[in-house]
Amino acid sequence: LFAFAGGWTGEWKVIRSRPVSGEALPPVDRLAVLSGDARIDARWILRGVTSYERYVTFDEKRELAAKQPALGRPESTCAALIPIRKSSEWWQLAADARRAVLEDSSHHIRTGMRYLPAIARKLYHCRDLGEPFDFLTWFEYAPADRNAFEELVDMLRGTEEWQYVEREVDLRLVKED
């Protein structure tokens, strides 16, 4: 279990917080990334768990393993936390239909792969935790890769997959002790 706590403490300074779809999150100055059930005084706390992969094929899994960098690289002083909730229409689709939207039509994995290893990523699931979002997506990158990340996010938001996104908030952060 992981927790993202928005408030007044934490090593990440919030430089932008923007609702892309649906309701915004209350504004905060800093973000703390905590593991487990750590207690902290915060304005809001979003929780998620790491889980197994639902959609990746054998070949994609191998390619991801080869290209994906670890989190916490010292030069990755920029980060994004993008909590996302998908619609009930999405969740009513069968697994093969969801894979068809995510990859065959939207090329989420193929497109994302082009941004590795510049962008480090981690996906947390929270739909079954009674949380306000289904996913917490987390990315880390160097300042020089800011534009590349922007390009990737814009591209994904134009896909068929994103027609199923009913709430999305985009928080951008910089590491600051």
Q: State the residues that interact with ligand HEM by CB under 6 A.
A: 53-56, 82, 84, 86, 108-109, 112-113, 115-116, 119, 121, 123, 135, 137, 152-153, 156
- Cα(48)–Cα(53) distance, integer angstroms: 15
CA 111 from centroid of its chain's CA atoms: 15
Q: Considering the complex, what minimum distance in angstroms separates the CB of residue 41 from ligand HEM? A: 29
Q: Which residue number is nearest to ligand HEM in terms of Cβ?
A: 112
CA 47 from centroid of its chain's CA atoms: 13
Q: Considering the complex, what minimum distance in angstroms separates the CB of residue 37 from ligand HEM? A: 24
Which residue type is seen at 108? H
Cβ-based neighbours of 159, under 8 Å, separated by 6 or more: 105, 106, 107, 108
- Cα(82)–Cα(138) distance, integer angstroms: 6
| Nearer CB in complex with ligand HEM: 12/90 | 90
| Nearer CB in complex with ligand HEM: 86/167 | 86
| Nearer CB in complex with ligand HEM: 67/175 | 67
Measuring CA to CA, which residue among 131, 177, 140, 108 is closest to residue 2?
A: 131
Beta strands in the chain (DSSP E): 2-7, 12-21, 30-35, 44-48, 78-86, 120-125, 135-141, 165-175
Q: Considering the complex, what minimum distance in angstroms separates the CB of residue 8 from ligand HEM? A: 26
Q: Considering the complex, what minimum distance in angstroms separates the CB of residue 36 from ligand HEM? A: 23
| Nearer CB in complex with ligand HEM: 78/152 | 152
| Nearer CB in complex with ligand HEM: 65/177 | 65
Q: Considering the complex, what minimum distance in angstroms separates the CB of residue 42 from ligand HEM? A: 23
